[in-house]
Amino acid sequence: MRIVASDNIGETRAAVIDGDRAVELHLERWSERAARAVRGEVFRARVRTVDASINGAFCDIGKGKEGFLPFGKAGRPDEVRQGAAIGVQIAREEFQEKGPTLALFDVEPGEAPETIASAPPLAERLAMMFDAPVRTPKEAEIELDELFDAALEPVVALPGGGRLIIEPVTALTAIDVDASGRKSPGGTHKLALDLNRAAAREACRWSPSIFCH
């Protein structure tokens, strides 16, 4: 595993490379970085709403959208009540219309909301997360722009023939598996099995989830 990262004008692009394949692509715009919370940051948050129907609470962290704190099977922690100041860490960053997902984090009491610990730059965060070295595109002999362009293509060829057609919509990402051009000596059942296996592997890589902000 290795991280390939490059700073451009106003943004950082990075790829997580496993062997010779990109498994994650990250794009962080510096103008947006200060306005939203990123994974790993710690805040003293203010609980705005406790919602028993979804077993969680919405919290104001003082930056970006309100975060959601899921309670899990143990139920609502005693310290989480409407208006309370609690320590939280960003477990998952905000995406599209959804705010970040939070996890409880032990912090000293104080006024809320406020930032307790900011996250380091993108490449450093990825290096710590994957315990992997960071390389420049030149050092890694990888063209980051080509990886990003390929990930944005709506049609992805599958090994052995066939293709994926990817179309993001409001509530989901539709992925159509097209068998055109694929052949199998094992007959229709074997063809379908091989095609679906190849499609499942590639769908994980090339759907919009490969992008992490």
Please state the rounded mean pLDDT for residues 97-126.
93
Confidence (pLDDT) at 210: 45
> Is 55 or 31 the better-scoring residue by pLDDT?
55
- Least confident stretch, 48-52, 84-88, 95-99: 95-99
CATH number of 42-117: 2.40.50.140
* Banded pLDDT at 195 (limits 50, 70, 90): confident
Nearest to 158 by CA among 125, 184, 192, 182: 182
d(CA 49, CA 58): 5
Average pLDDT over residues 69-84: 95
Q: CA torsion sign, 29 to 32 to 34 to 36? A: negative
For residues 49-62, one letter each, b for 16 or more C-beta atoms within 10 angstroms of the residue's C-beta and e for the rest, the string is: ebeeeeebbbbbbe
pLDDT class for 126, splitting at 50, 70, 90?
Answer: very high
172 pLDDT band, cuts 50/70/90, is: confident
pLDDT at 209: 44
> For 60-84, what is the mean pLDDT?
95
Identify the band that residue 206 occupies on the pLDDT scale cut at 50, 70 and 90.
Answer: low
Give the tens place of pLDDT for each residue, 13-51. 999 999 888 888 999 988 888 788 988 999 999 999 999
Domain boundaries, the chain: 2-35+120-142, 42-117, 153-212
